[in-house]
């Protein structure tokens, strides 16, 4: 069953309004509602005194209109009675200062007392709603992720290190603590990397980031265990924050959940952009699908302009529906809009919902009501259909953390680097998976491994098996530089990947912001009168069996190799020695697809997105026009439109017209 719904906060509105809200939700085609993830103070008004009567009434009203319910455990926003007078429960920031009450996610994820109160509220909710016929699942907490540097976490970090390294001698060796005389003689001597201590040992900092991630995984697991015990028939999830969030290892956080859910906002208050790059939403969705390599839910799909202190640029007519269908095109089996009604009080007064402050249906409501009717017709065809890419992009959270600690070049930002490479293939209408470096890669023909900074023997062997079996691997500079302890390898770069790539880095050059170098492509299929320029970083390469694809044209390393191609086993490895910018990857993308034998789905104009899902052998084609003008697209087969409300719709083939900010969902016949 495809779930289509909304996030609702009945505790924030008069109870006499609830039936009208439920009626309007049903009118929009909604069949699911998320409730209670910020309602701890109402659910437990005093320590140990629980009140579920109001929530029971709200659920009954919603269920009467055909709604199912996902409940949130309310631990992201503790009540004042818990936090007042107990400052040790608050997180400590990386500058050593404790946060204070007034927002959300202020808590330390390792504090035993906070864990006790968490067990209390979660157990009480689980026992009360475990057999409720309207409740189908749980969202744990809300958007995990802030790092805590408090004394409780410092002690827990030391215990985590003891478990990881077993001995101080091993830790000292791995971190290289003889540098600056930092050799530790007792576990209690090891600090957390506060900014007051200056630039930390990279090994210590990386392990601390791993520890914080593991702390949230453990805190989540505590809640999972309670819910599994009392609610065995319900699914359990958490609302992740897409591709750009970089404080936790999302692969680890997703592992023991039944499914991944995430929050999808295309226009945010702090960006204020006039235009939206649709490849960002696509990459975020593909990343979320890749965490468990399965379809996902969108627990918060943008419903209007966002805003706390600033009101963001509003979505244009059609964009909310278009963005929701983009999520579906990339693997969503449920869409819930955030939020139902725009709050009159509190920090999120300007984070708009489908209804405005006055509670009347808006243009946005009518747009989503149209989509609700479409989902009622098409949802059964879409639900469970899978995405099957032949190309994978490797996302390493160890690399992400390492680049947070040492950026290498002030112009370099690891997520942007991945996005630039992803976008080059997205623009060619080639579906991608996002995968972990150690994941099974046998389903892919082409694997992109940008800036794979930390490489273990396990990952190196995994990539080697993929290439030997006939795959095409793409590496970029700053790959293979570090070991698992975040120490630079004691061998020529790219370290464990040097033999695989058939090349060594003879020298590397970190470029100033205004610096550029030219590239000359030696292969006829890549030669162009206006080749892209090298920026940010240049690896000066020494081939050891690899063929030179491009060379630099300026500065003291003019004529030296910049990009190489190596045959390894049955496959090939391309090493791109400059981080460069988008045009480099756009130039190379078509050639790389040809090397790997991967074809794009359809030809389409810029601003049109084409992707697909598969239901067994049934192919669903999604064509999304993100632009301001109608576009024509030539289909590759005969299809029927799943969104058309006309009974017995005639098949469509040949050239079709897609209006601006509109979408086609087609099933091949």
Q: What is the pLDDT of residue 270?
A: 64
Q: What is the pLDDT of residue 123?
A: 98
160 has pLDDT over 70? yes
Catalytic residue, from 143, 319, 367, 504: name it.
Answer: 143
Hey, what CATH topology would domain 608-668 get?
Immunoglobulin-like (2.60.40)
544 has pLDDT over 90? yes
The stretch 426-438 carries a mean pLDDT of 98
Angle (CA) 629-632-636 rounded to 5° is: 150
386 or 272: which leads in pLDDT = 386
The stretch 373-377 carries a mean pLDDT of 97
Instruction: Report the percentage of the chain scoring pLDDT > 70.
Output: 99
Query: Where does the pLDDT of residue 269 fall: very low under 50, low under 70, confident under 90, or very high at 90 and above?
Result: low
Q: Among 252, 209, 215, 580, which residue's Cα sits nearest to residue 404?
A: 209
Catalytic residue, from 37, 44, 106, 300: name it.
Answer: 300
273 has pLDDT over 80? no
580 has pLDDT over 90? no
Rounded CA-CA distance 408/421 in Å is 19
The stretch 124-144 carries a mean pLDDT of 98
Here the contacts of 315-319 (C-beta below 8 Å, separation 24 or greater) are 315/266, 315/267, 315/364, 316/661, 317/363, 317/367, 317/661, 318/367, 318/660, 318/661, 318/662, 319/266, 319/276, 319/661
The average confidence (pLDDT) of the chain is: 97
CATH 3.40.50.880 fits 391-596, yes or no: yes
The stretch 401-420 carries a mean pLDDT of 98
Per residue in 415-426, pLDDT tens? 999 999 999 999
Q: What is the maximum alpha-carbon separation in the chain? A: 78
The stretch 206-218 carries a mean pLDDT of 98
The stretch 635-656 carries a mean pLDDT of 88
Can you read off the two tokens belonging to residue 472?
A: 């095409």
Rounded CA-CA distance 484/170 in Å is 13
DSSP secondary structure of 35-70: E-TT-HHHH-SBTTB---HHHHHHHHHHHHTT-EEE
30 has pLDDT over 90? yes
Q: Among 595, 556, 557, 598, which residue's Cα sits nearest to residue 577?
A: 557
Per residue in 215-253, pLDDT tens? 999 999 999 999 999 999 999 999 999 999 999 999 999
The ranges assigned to domains in the chain are 3-147+207-382, 391-596, 608-668
Q: In a 3-state reduction of DSSP, which class is residue 135? A: strand
Rounded CA-CA distance 146/155 in Å is 18
647 has pLDDT over 60? no
Query: Where does the pLDDT of residue 267 fall: very low under 50, low under 70, confident under 90, or very high at 90 and above?
Result: confident
> pTM, whole model, 2 decimals?
0.98
Phi and psi torsions of 618, nearest 5°: -85, 125
**Domain 3-147+207-382: CATH class, spelled out:** alpha beta
The stretch 361-387 carries a mean pLDDT of 97
Q: What is the pLDDT of residue 581?
A: 85
143 is catalytic: yes
Q: Could you check whether 3-147+207-382 and 608-668 share the same CATH topology?
A: no
């Amino acid at each position: 069953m495809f779930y289509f719904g909304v996030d609702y906060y009945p505790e924030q509105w008069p109870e006499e309004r609830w039936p009208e809200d439920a009626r309007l939700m049903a009118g929009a085609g909604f069949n699911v509602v998320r409730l209670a993830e910020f309602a701890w103070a109402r659910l437990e008004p005093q320590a140990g005194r629980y009140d579920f009567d109001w929530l029971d009434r709200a659920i009954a009203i919603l269920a009467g209109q055909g709604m199912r319910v996902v409940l949130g455990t309310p631990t992201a926003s503790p009540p004042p009675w818990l936090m007042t007078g107990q400052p040790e429960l608050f997180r400590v920031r990386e500058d050593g200062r404790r946060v204070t009450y007034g927002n959300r996610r202020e808590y330390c994820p390792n504090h035993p007392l906070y864990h006790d109160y968490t067990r209390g509220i979660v157990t009480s909710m689980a026992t009360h709603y475990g057999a409720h016929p309207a409740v189908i699942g749980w969202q744990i907490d809300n958007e995990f992720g802030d790092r805590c540097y408090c004394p409780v976490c410092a002690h827990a970090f030391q215990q985590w290190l003891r478990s990881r390294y077993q001995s101080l001698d091993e830790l000292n060796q791995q971190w290289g603590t003889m540098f600056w005389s930092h050799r530790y003689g007792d576990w209690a001597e090891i600090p957390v990397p506060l900014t007051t201590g200056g630039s930390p040992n990279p090994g210590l900092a990386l392990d601390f980031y791993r520890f914080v991630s593991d702390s949230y995984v453990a805190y989540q697991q505590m809640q999972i265990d309670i819910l599994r015990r009392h609610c065995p028939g319900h699914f359990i999830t958490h609302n992740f924050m897409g591709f750009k969030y970089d404080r936790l290892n999302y692969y680890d956080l997703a592992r023991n959940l039944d499914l991944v859910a995430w929050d999808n906002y295309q226009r945010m208050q702090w960006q204020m952009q006039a235009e939206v790059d649709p490849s960002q939403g696509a990459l975020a969705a593909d990343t979320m699908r890749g965490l468990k390599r399965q379809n996902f839910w969108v627990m918060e799909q943008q419903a209007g302009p966002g805003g706390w202190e600033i009101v963001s640029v509003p979505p244009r007519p059609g964009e909310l529906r278009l963005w929701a269908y983009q999520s579906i095109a990339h693997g969503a089996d449920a869409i819930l809009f955030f939020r139902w009604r725009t709050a009159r009080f509190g920090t999120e007064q300007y984070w708009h919902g489908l209804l405005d402050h006055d509670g009347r249906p808006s243009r946005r409501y009518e747009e989503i009501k149209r989509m609700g009717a479409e989902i009622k017709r098409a949802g059964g065809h879409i639900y469970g259909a899978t995405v099957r890419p032949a190309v994978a992009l490797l996302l390493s959270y160890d690399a992400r953390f390492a680049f947070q600690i040492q950026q290498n070049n002030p112009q370099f930002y690891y997520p942007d680097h991945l996005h630039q490479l992803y976008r080059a293939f997205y623009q060619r209408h080639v579906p991608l998976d996002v995968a972990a470096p150690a994941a099974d890669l046998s389903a892919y023909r082409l694997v992109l491994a940008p800036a794979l900074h930390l490489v273990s023997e396990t990952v190196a062997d995994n990539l080697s098996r993929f290439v030997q079996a006939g795959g095409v691997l793409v590496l970029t500079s700053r790959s293979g530089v570090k070991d698992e302890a975040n120490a630079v390898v004691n061998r020529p770069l790219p370290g464990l990947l040097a033999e695989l790539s058939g090349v060594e880095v003879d020298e590397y050059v970190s470029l100033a912001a205004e610096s550029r170098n030219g590239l000359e492509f030696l292969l006829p299929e890549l030669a162009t009168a206006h080749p892209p320029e090298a920026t940010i970083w240049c690896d000066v390469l020494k081939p050891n069996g690899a063929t030179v694809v491009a060379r630099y044209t300026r500065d003291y390393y003019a004529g030296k190799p910049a990009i190489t191609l190596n045959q390894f086993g049955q496959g090939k490895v391309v090493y791109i020695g400059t981080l460069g910018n988008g045009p480099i990857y756009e130039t190379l993308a078509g050639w790389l697809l040809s090397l790997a034998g991967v074809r794009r789905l359809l030809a389409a104009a810029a601003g049109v997105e084409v992707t697909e899902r598969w239901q067994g052998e049934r192919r669903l084609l999604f064509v999304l026009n993100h632009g301001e003008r109608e576009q024509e697209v030539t289909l590759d087969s005969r299809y029927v439109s799943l969104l058309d409300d006309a009974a017995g719709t005639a098949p469509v083939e040949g050239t079709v017209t897609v209006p601006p900010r509109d979408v086609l969902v087609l099933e091949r016949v």
